[in-house]
Amino acid sequence: MRQSKIPFFIVGLILTLIITGYAQGSSGHGRYTPDELIIKLLPGYSIDSINVKYGTFTKGHQIATDVYLLRVPAGKDVEALAAEISTEPGVEYCTPNFYMSAPEGLQRSSPFLDQQVKGDIESQPAATTLLLSAAQEYTDGTDVTVAVIDGGVDVGHPWLVAQPGPIISCWDYIDNDSLAYDEPGGSCTGHGTFVAGIIRLTAPNAQIRVYRVLDTAGVGDGFTISSAVLQAVADSCDVINLSLGMSGVHDGLDDALKLARQLGVLVVASAGNDSTDLASIFPFPASREYCIAVAATDSTDLKADFSNYGLKVDLCAPGTWIYAPYPDSMYAWWDGTSFSAPFVSGLAALAKSLGDTLSMLTIDTLMRVAATNIDLLNPTYTGLLGSGLINPVALMNLISPVIRGDWTANGVIDLSDLSSMIAFLTAGGNGPAPVGRGDLNCDAIVDLSDLSRLVAHLSGVEAPICPNP
């Protein structure tokens, strides 16, 4: 693995930028865009009548949800105008175009570049806690597409390039071009690359499609984010990762997420880093029942001290001391629920790849069933951590139970399994080895003793095979 050494003064510069961006309150952003409204009309009503009466101008229209983006006349108070238009007959809703953000930028969670502490992506604590390598013996995410709607991705990062799955830059809604790159110079630089790296760690061969909707401070408006969600749905993405949020609700994005769910797309969202269960603070869209809200745990399966919790949490995943790619061929450690969510998105991709006929709603249910309850480890948060910590191996086994000796996974032990095991061992043990299926004596390796047991079993000779996982 290539590791880049970073001069200490660069680390200091990055930290300075982070602190400066935070002090400005999301780089000077207010709660919503200063001259825009979003509006949705009831059937049979025309946006033209609204524009004529209030002097607004149509800037955008999301046909799939029939939501409009309007420009507000100069000098008009956005909130007052939204309230006034909302009283018009035929208006379902009219609100400011609220901003959303990645929680790490606002709460000063920052990446720790690995100059002092080198890591290994595949063997980091989160990967070993989740037994990702064992889960990947079942499948690697092939034929599943995950959307990363975030701050862009360094798609040329050496580690990402070295992985088997493709990463496609779809659209940069900030710069209005097709290069959805993770730009330097802000408190959330690296956020999208980090998220993509975790998805790739979990589902190595899933396709990742990148949509940049957050600036380098980690801020983007809800209409833009909903445009990306609708585009991801149109691009046939199976899973959408949203490591971002806001207090309250953005109605336009809410409609886009409802539509995604109706069309069978699984939406995964970070639960937020406020260490609270207050409904008024718990972020949207994780607060919605059609999104999977993911809280963070530490390396001992305790709730991370910063993570939100409560009845709206659905699942937990590691979110502390996560090691992943960072822009410009670098690597970093980072904490946050933003980095718990992509473990769940990647797991959903594994599940869909293995059970390709399963609906995403069924996969949602199975992820909860397979999760490990961690209430006993977290007595203060009993019943407030959803179904518990995701359990990739248990989920894979729910979808496709392992039969030891059934190397080809066709449901029976036959000569095709013998042929596959011989081919594997003849090649010196190179290539994919389904240890759970090929390990007949439960010593965690596939060798000649397993071959001997398989031959005896097929010959009708009693040969003990250890229990199925």
Percent of the chain with pLDDT over 90: 74
Exposure letters 90-126 (e unless 16+ CB within 10 A, then b): ebebbbbbbbbbbbbbbbebbbbbbbeeebebeebbb
* CA 37, chain centre distance (Å): 29
Is 157 among the catalytic positions? no
Look at 59-73, 214-228, 443-457 and tell me which has the smallest mean pLDDT.
443-457
Query: Given this model, what pLDDT does residue 27 score?
Result: 37
Question: Is the backbone of residue 39 left (phi > 0), alpha (psi -120 to 50) or beta?
Answer: beta
The fold of the 402-469 domain, in CATH, is Type 1 dockerin domain (1.10.1330)
C-alpha 100: how far from its chain's center?
16
- In whole angstroms, give the CA distance from residue 173 to residue 215: 9
For residue 120, pLDDT over 90 is answered with yes
CA angle 199, 201, 203 (to 5 degrees): 65
Residues of each domain in the chain carrying CATH 3.30.70.80: 32-97
For 318-349, what is each residue's pLDDT tens digit? 999 999 999 999 999 999 999 999 999 999 99
pLDDT at 3 over 70: no
Mean pLDDT of 145-171: 97
Choose among 382, 270, 267: nearest CA to 318: 270
Selecting among 157, 191, 250, 457, the annotated active-site residue is 191
Average pLDDT over the chain reads 89
**Which residues are paired to 325 by β-bridges?**
331
The answer on pLDDT for 116 being more than 90 is no
Instruction: Return the amino acid letter for 159.
Output: W
Residue range(s) in the chain whose domain bears CATH number 3.40.50.200: 103-399
Q: What's the pLDDT at 400? A: 85
- Tens-place pLDDT, residues 308-322: 999 999 999 999 999
List CB contacts of 121: < 8 A, sequence separation 6 or more. 1, 127, 159, 197, 201, 323, 324, 325, 331
Query: From the candidates 243, 338, 353, 387, which is the catalytic residue?
Result: 338
pLDDT tens digits for range 397-419:
999 877 888 888 777 899 998 89
Is the confidence at residue 21, as pLDDT, over 50? no
pLDDT of 23 > 60? The answer is: no
Query: Do the strands 145-150 and 322-326 form a parallel or antiparallel pair, or are they unpaired?
Result: unpaired
Residue range 45-71: average pLDDT? 98
Q: Which one from 150, 172, 251, 255 is the annotated catalytic residue?
A: 150
Q: Is it the case that residue 9 has pLDDT exceeding 60?
A: no
- 167-172: strand order across its sheet: 167-172, 207-212, 145-150, 239-242, 266-270, 292-297, 315-318
Q: Is the pLDDT of residue 110 over 80?
A: no
Contact 186, 102 (CB under 8 A): no
pLDDT at 192: 97
For 153, the token pair is: 């991705």
- Topology of 32-97 in CATH? Alpha-Beta Plaits (3.30.70)
What band does 4 get if pLDDT is binned at 50, 70 and 90?
very low
In the chain, CATH 1.10.1330.10 covers: 402-469
**CB distance 419 to 389 below 8 Å:** no
Predicted local distance difference test score (pLDDT) of residue 406 = 86
Residue 224 has pLDDT above 90, yes or no: yes
Q: Which has the higher per-residue pLDDT, 26 or 460?
A: 460
Report d(CA 360, CA 129) in Å as an integer. 25
Q: How many other C-beta atoms are found inside a 10 Å radius of the C-beta of residue 428?
A: 7
| pLDDT band for position 177 (cuts 50, 70, 90) | very high
Q: Which two tokens stand for residue 436?
A: 């759970």
pLDDT of 6 > 70? The answer is: no
pLDDT at 405: 85
Q: What percent of the chain has pLDDT over 70?
A: 90
The arrangement of secondary structure in 103-399, i.e. its CATH architecture, is 3-Layer(aba) Sandwich (3.40)
Average pLDDT, integer, range 157-162: 97
Mean pLDDT across the stretch 34-52?
A: 97
345 catalytic? Reply is no
pLDDT score of 236: 98
- Respond yes or no: is residue 191 known to be catalytic: yes
